[in-house]
Amino acid sequence: MKAERFVVLLFVVMTLFMLISTADGQAQEYKYEMGGAVGSSFYMGDANRSRLYLHPGLSGGILFRYNLNFLWSIKTGLSVATVSGESEESGNSFPFGGRASFHRTLAELGTQVEFNFFPYSDRYAYLGTKNYTPYLCTGVGVTYASGEKTFFGANIPFGIGFKYKLKNRMNIGIEFSMRKLFRDDFDVTEKTTGWSLDNPFSIESSLLKNRDWYSFTIIFLTWEFATREDPCRGN
């Protein structure tokens, strides 16, 4: 699918950009953040070729962030969400003119690396810091989903976000991210008139073809803790 190729290309570009960045990052005032997130979720696959926010569900979770410096962070999160799909609104023509739908409740555990475009802090103006920044993120995760057939598999998340310091130690932000799965049975259904959403065309899957995706759009609020020394004096 064209949408799959686009998001994979975006993931590669983002990863390369984050790896080759040579910006100098000073130490953050606080080492850690913890908080929660709420938002929406949606699915892309055989029952949704390319439409964003088709049949949106609810998502929420908790997150923990380790601030390496003003530019780089490592985030670990546990999320839950609902996703669904309907063959009649998919943009695909299915065998025998049949209909199928699915609904999943999923749980995800993952770790992501975040790169801030600006040095992020509401202090240390002499270091050029700002109390807001857009950021890129990517990482790895695992997904478990209930339904007619249990799903468990790895995913690669990647996305973009924006965060802002409401005040010292408190952060608010918004993030949009996609999750690429490495199996094609996330949208599995019971067979309907001889076919099923997990592989309705009996096409052999590859890394870029015939794989499922899901997405989160979240608003998060975090609180910082565990101080470290002023970066002017070192770590």
Closest residue by Cα to residue 79 from 55, 100, 106, 40: 106
pLDDT (0 to 100) of residue 23: 44
pLDDT tens for each residue of 58-109: 999 999 999 999 999 999 999 999 998 876 765 556 555 566 778 889 999 9
Q: Which residues 6+ apart lie within 8 Å of 49 measured at CB?
A: 1, 3, 90, 91, 92
pLDDT (0 to 100) of residue 94: 57
pLDDT (0 to 100) of residue 226: 85
pLDDT (0 to 100) of residue 187: 81
pLDDT (0 to 100) of residue 16: 55
pLDDT (0 to 100) of residue 201: 53
pLDDT (0 to 100) of residue 234: 47
Model confidence at 32, pLDDT cuts 50, 70, 90, reads: very high
Domains along the sequence of the chain with CATH: 2-20+36-227 (2.40.160.20)
Question: Any bridge partners for residue 178, and if so which?
Answer: 158, 215
Q: What is the DSSP letter of 182?
A: S
43-52, 147-156, 220-229: range with lowest mean pLDDT: 43-52
pLDDT tens for each residue of 167-176: 888 999 999 9
pLDDT (0 to 100) of residue 24: 47
Residue 142 near residue 108, CB atoms below 8 Å: yes
Q: Which residues 6+ apart lie within 8 Å of 93 measured at CB?
A: none
pLDDT (0 to 100) of residue 72: 95
pLDDT tens for each residue of 15-24: 555 555 444 4
Model confidence at 203, pLDDT cuts 50, 70, 90, reads: low
Query: Is the pLDDT reported for residue 33 higher than 90?
Result: yes
pLDDT (0 to 100) of residue 232: 55
pLDDT (0 to 100) of residue 220: 97
Return the percentage of the chain with pLDDT > 70, whole number: 69
pLDDT (0 to 100) of residue 222: 96
Share the mean pLDDT of the chain. Answer: 81
For residues 5 and 134, the model is more confident at 134
Say what the pTM is. Answer: 0.79
Residue 77 near residue 62, CB atoms below 8 Å: yes
For residues 15 and 138, the model is more confident at 138
Secondary-structure percent of the chain, ordered helix, strand, coil, rounded to 5:
10, 50, 35
